Amino acid sequence: MTSSWLRGGVVYQIYPRSFRDTNGDGVGDLAGVIEKLDYVASLGVDAVWLSPFFTSPMKDYGYDVSDYRGVDPLFGNLADADALIARAHALGLKVILDQVWSHSSDQHPWFKESRSSRDNAKSDWYVWADAKPDGSPPNNWQAMFGGGAWTWDARRRQYYLHNFLAEQPDLNVRNPDVQTAILDVARFWLERGVDGFRLDVVNFYVQDASLRDNPALALSKPPPRPHQFQRQLYNRTQPETLAFIGRLRGLLDQFGAIAIGEIEDEEPLKVQRAYTDGDDRLHTAYSFYLLRQRAMTPAIVAEAMAGWEGARGWPSWSLSNHDVIRFPTRLADDDPQRAKLMLALLLCLRGTAFLYQGDELGLPHADVPYERLRDPEAIAFWPSGIGRDGARTPMPWSANEPMAGFSSAPDGWLPLDPRHRALAVDAQERDANSQLAFTRAMVALRRASPVLQIGEFIAHEAPNSALVFERRLDGLRVFCVFNLGPERIRVGLPATGDAKFTIGEAHLAGSEATLGGYSGLIVET
């Protein structure tokens, strides 16, 4: 195995709870993933990334792990995981597992032992600190899900750190024994055949050794969340994290496996470059830069790509995932034509492209009423939160079946959005103009073009809402021309060529492109 597939590859993210339920309990399972792997392979993607299916109390729906080597009974068992890996490989798909090593569940045996006393064998496996003289927490850090980032533990008479829920205590990844335990977990799954890991909030692994207060931001009005009052200088992105990544990379290289790091930082592009800059760093960094945008403009794309200019590392890009508003809603106002344009743009960028389940169907962000919310973040910040549940509702497979073919149960762990039924896989399979057909065609175009996969990115000046860039490799050139606005425009290209792919109302005459609103051309010279 080698990691070369990653550069220019396309990864399909599966959120197992919502993909396919085979036992009728309203929750997706690994057997359901196996059942639908042929469909995933038919998209032309290179790999699947599976959100956590490990043993968990599900306070944060799998991102609070209580056994890194176990499969939660909701999803199946280890034999199912092995069967999934084998079936994926038989279909030519790599398998990437989500690993949550910044924190564990408070039900993990490591934490139970750590909190039992100050002098046990794992007493330093989590981030513990004494109270201030007045009994208040060690510093001013705020948790991402609201409230302070420290919780008092009466047994140790100390505070423990949790950057997310109180039920998600932060591991002390400074500790070499913790690092070794994490590497043992990685080896366990690598020996079962997985091809790599997506590392959840990788830059949260290590905190400032002195636990200094984060400085306050100068704000004109209060932000939505307490942690947004501060510059996140000391609770994340510490240099010691890179030393551990070097140890992990050494293990991964033994198996030809890869690491994709999720980076959440106030300077995302800078930190992503730092975490991928060299053979002892991550293979790529999963970016929130485009995921956080509420509109797509030429300037945003130019800034994203400029952030990687001259970098040794390799970027990754995504428009949707299980944590953000789905891109057809966020970036395309639920307009199918605009959704196609956004997808085409993603697949033309230099870097690994990530598709989230349902992106290929153009699913809008689901409406989930308050009484059906399950996500602790959505509940804590309702009604102004991002509403992650809306990205996690059941995948629609069959327009005319109960629960759109997701489950034989009358209802799912989250409700099915009625709008999704008409966009089900079987309905789109019969429509040559569907988002599904478009996705397959665009992925095929990318796979057939080394220029689009790994070619250099060169931005060109263009008027108004036009985005024009060139991909170049070994003398071959591909021009990508997108109209990100509603008005018809004309754009001159630096060279003549043939239109290899058309999005919407677009025409090429010599070196001049005419583009209707939200249209595009991919031109090969």
Active-site residue set: 200, 264
Nearest to 438 by CA among 515, 362, 333, 348: 362
Q: What are the CB-based long-range contacts (under 8 Å, 24+) for 21-26?
A: 21/394, 21/406, 21/407, 21/408, 21/409, 21/412, 24/407, 24/408, 24/409, 25/74, 25/407, 25/409, 26/407, 26/409, 26/411, 26/412, 26/413
Contact present, 493 and 481 (Cβ < 8 Å): yes
CA distance 490 to 133: 68
CA distance 449 to 10: 13
Q: What is the sign of the dihedral through the CA atoms of 400, 403, 408 and 409?
A: negative
Q: Supply φ then ψ for residue 153, to 5 degrees.
A: -120, 115
**Structure token digits, residue 76:** 């199946």
| 37 alpha carbon, distance to own chain's centre | 19
| 290 alpha carbon, distance to own chain's centre | 11
Place of tokens 């079946």: 401
Helices (H) and strands (E) in the chain, counts: 15, 21
